[in-house]
Amino acid sequence: MMAAQLNVGDRLQPVTHEVTDDKMVEFEKVVWDRGRNSHSDINVAKADGIQRTIASGQNQMAFLHEMMERNFGDAWVYGGKISARYIHPVYAGDHLTANGLVTEVSVVDGKPRVTLQIWCENQDGRKTSAGTASAGQPSDARSWITAAS
Amino acid sequence: MSEEAAISKVWESIPVGDDLGSLDYVLTAQMVADYRRVVDNPHAAYPTVAARHPANLFYRKYAAVMRVPNMGHDSEYFNPPVADKRITITGRIADKYIRRGNTYLIVEATAVDEDGRLIERSRLVGLAREVGKEAAHANIARKWGT
């Protein structure tokens, strides 16, 4: 079965996660340990001029990625683009939802391309990040999962 | 204080196109598993999101004099990384500008694996803060009231 093709005005299936202190700390250590910083240590945060630790922007990016992976499959993973700006702090205890709205469907280099507004919002409906993303039309293929197993 | 007077001399001295050199590391299966666990996404394709390639390259050269809190990211993804392959990242200063009195540096990093597969190209939008002059997040604190 072919994945449903997207049209202007379509909303992506959103993704929601709770941000916790433990995960903020661990996020700073996975893949590349950056040591204590304003995302993981209250004393460093205060020295950096803020009163609480805040989740890193890349933490939000991870949720936006998951939304794109779930909705686009290979079409995102092979050739996806994203541009996000972090516009409001994210704290431990926040519930973040990644969202996407299709704004354009075009043809680029002979291939369909879907452009979206993307954003994360917290439990109060306040946007914490915003930007754009693009990918080919959704694919059912999840070849990066198959390749890893 | 005028906008001109507030501009950091260090920021002025960093040229667009500045070569940030290269770094390499092996993205182990454990790193991939750890990333997927912490983001609650068992199939996350790009654990490199947490690797912060541009920031790591930038700080290797400029940590003593400049901070670049992450105000945004522009990324393009080509091939998901494969566990236990060595990844090499190269970086440069792609752009710099002043907006609303704030100085920014755009730090670009490109990641390629040991088989020559292009993984991703990312640009960090960094709010440039000279070390010792102003707290790294002071502007964010003022703007966001944190």
Q: What is the pLDDT of residue A34?
A: 79
Residues A10-60: pLDDT tens digits? 999 999 999 999 999 999 888 888 788 888 888 888 888 888 999 999 999
Q: Across the beta sheet with A127-135, what order do the strands follow?
A: A15-18, A95-108, A111-121, A127-135, A81-86, B70-77, B118-127, B102-113, B85-99, B19-27
pLDDT per 10-residue tile (average), chain B, 146 residues = 64 97 96 95 95 94 94 97 97 96 96 98 95 73 67
Q: What is the pLDDT of residue B94?
A: 98
Mean pLDDT of A111-130: 97
Residue pairs between chains A and B whose CB atoms are closer than 8 Å: 135
Q: What is the pLDDT of residue B5?
A: 46
Residue of B31, B70, B138 lying closest to A86 (CB–CB): B70
Q: What is the pLDDT of residue B146?
A: 67
Residues A60-95: pLDDT tens digits? 999 999 999 999 999 999 999 999 999 999 999 999
Cβ atoms of residues B111 and A32 within 8 Å: no
Q: What is the pLDDT of residue B145?
A: 66
CB spacing of A49 vs B71 below 8 angstroms: no
| CA pair distance A8, A115, nearest whole angstrom | 9
Interface mutation vs chain B, best among A32, A36, A146, most B CBs within 10 Å: A32
Q: Which residues of chain A are within 8 Å of residue B79 when distances are taken between CB atoms? A: 78
Cβ atoms of residues A100 and A122 within 8 Å: no
